[in-house]
């Protein structure tokens, strides 16, 4: 099992404190819940279920994890930090009712901050995840530190998460391996007469069998529904000649790899074949530009230039690249005007797409780590499917052709 150790999180907190010092922050609070888990998971390994959580990182002393009582045992299982406190503000996030937990040993934001204030100055506090937390929680935190300045500190972790360690890359590669197995199972299940939900079920079952901790999404749409861009699987029956868009994200130890490759169930028409050819060629041109020192905008321009040459720019709806890590899509997310360059240790996804085209709608999503001399694919399957398509202009669905 590829698992991050305590020292990995200690190094993250040490780097965070360096930036906090530069920004004049006396403490930083990193918020997370079931839906926006990435930052809290990154600094604590804890991921709340139904409830909320936060890690308070003071400039001096150890971090304090705030959670809610129902998740106490899970919190202790997951958190790398032993100092865990419970606040009523973090209880069940889906109801407005005040829930009674008679056995809960509650503290409050005010008591925690008063304790920390007694050990040092608290003039300025940064919040990571301010955009994700409820306004009532923000007010409760702000009011618990009278006289202190409370600021948005989201950018701190976005920048820190750009470059991955070898341990993080190992987790992403394992997520990609699992995603490959799950996507292969989906392809093997794809025959006329099955439903989109049955395709998604095949991917889910295989992913969990291989060790996935979570499936952030498995988007499956077919026929005319592929134009939805983001489409949940339905009871729609897949018919012979239907194009399928299946986008799969797999989470392993907090790290998420996503893959997508367009395919047709049954016999593909010449128009569908040309459409898939377009996406494959754009993906090949785009990933050729993923090299350390190359401007990320150049990769974006390369893809968009090719689409302009082919007269399909009106179906190109969003940038063809984004980062991946503890979120399925994280920084960098460049456009043609971005100034950033690829750096060794970045992990990125090509996300090459055309939607609303007369011959179909779909995307290719492939994940890479930027290496010292170029890039390395983390998913093996997407590249194999591309090679198979270019050789035969079909994918052999229903047999393990990519093992």
Domain ranges for the chain, please list them. 6-160, 166-392
Instruction: For the full predicted model, state whether its pTM sits above 0.85.
Output: yes
CATH number 3.40.350.10 is the correct assignment for the domain at 6-160: yes
What is the pLDDT at residue 402?
34
Give the CA angle between residues 173, 176, 182 to the nearest 5°.
150
Neighbouring C-alpha atoms within 13 Å toward the C-beta of 183 = 35
What's the confidence (pLDDT) of residue 403? Answer: 31
Give pLDDT tens digits for 170-212.
999 999 999 999 999 999 999 999 999 999 999 999 999 999 9
Q: Identify the segments of the chain with pLDDT beneath 50.
A: 398-403
The class (CATH top level) of 166-392 is alpha beta
From 62, 46, 57, 45, select the one nearest 19 (Cα to Cα): 57
DSSP 210-273: HT-SEEEEEEEEEGGGGGGSS----SPBP-TT-EEEEEEEEEETTEEEEEE--EESSPPPHHHH
Give the per-residue pLDDT at 97. 76
Both tokens of 235, joined, read 């009871």
CA 377 to chain CA mean position, Å: 17
């Amino acid at each position: 099992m590829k698992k991050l150790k305590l020292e990995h999180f200690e190094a993250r907190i040490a780097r965070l404190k360096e930036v906090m010092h530069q920004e004049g922050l006396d403490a930083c609070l990193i918020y997370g819940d079931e839906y926006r888990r990435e930052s809290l998971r990154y600094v604590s390994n804890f991921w709340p279920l139904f409830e909320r959580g936060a890690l308070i990182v003071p400039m001096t002393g150890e971090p304090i994890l705030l959670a809610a009582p129902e998740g106490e045992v899970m919190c202790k299982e997951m958190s790398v930090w032993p100092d865990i406190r419970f606040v009523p503000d973090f209880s069940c996030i889906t109801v407005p009712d005040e829930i009674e937990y008679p056995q809960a040993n509650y503290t409050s934001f005010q008591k925690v901050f008063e304790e920390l204030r007694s050990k040092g100055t608290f003039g300025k506090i940064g919040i990571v995840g301010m955009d994700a937390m409820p306004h009532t929680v923000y007010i409760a935190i702000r009011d618990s530190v009278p006289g202190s300045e409370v600021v948005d500190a989201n950018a701190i972790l976005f920048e820190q998460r750009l470059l991955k360690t070898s341990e993080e890359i190992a987790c992403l590669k394992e997520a990609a391996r699992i995603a490959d197995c799950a996507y292969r199972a989906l392809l093997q299940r794809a025959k006329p007469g099955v439903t989109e939900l049955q395709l998604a079920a095949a991917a889910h079952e295989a992913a969990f069998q291989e060790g996935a901790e979570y499936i952030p999404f498995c988007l499956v749409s077919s026929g005319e529904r592929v134009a939805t861009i983001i489409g949940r699987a339905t009871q729609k029956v897949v018919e012979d000649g239907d194009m399928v868009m299946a986008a799969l994200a797999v989470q392993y130890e907090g790290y998420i790899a996503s893959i997508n490759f367009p395919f047709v169930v049954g016999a593909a028409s010449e128009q569908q074949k040309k459409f898939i050819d377009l996406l494959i060629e754009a993906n090949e041109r785009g990933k050729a530009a993923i090299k350390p020192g190359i401007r990320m905008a150049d990769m974006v321009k390369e893809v968009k230039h090719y689409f302009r040459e082919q007269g399909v720019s009106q179906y190109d709806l969003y940038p063809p690249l984004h980062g991946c890590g503890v979120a399925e899509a994280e920084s960098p997310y460049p456009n043609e005007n971005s100034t950033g360059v690829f750096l060794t240790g970045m992990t990125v996804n090509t996300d090459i797409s055309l939607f609303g085209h007369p011959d179909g709608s779909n995307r290719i999503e492939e994940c890479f780590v930027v290496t010292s001399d170029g890039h390395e694919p983390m998913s093996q399957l997407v590249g194999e499917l591309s090679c198979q398509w270019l050789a035969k202009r079909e994918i052999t669905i229903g047999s393990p052709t990519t093992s």
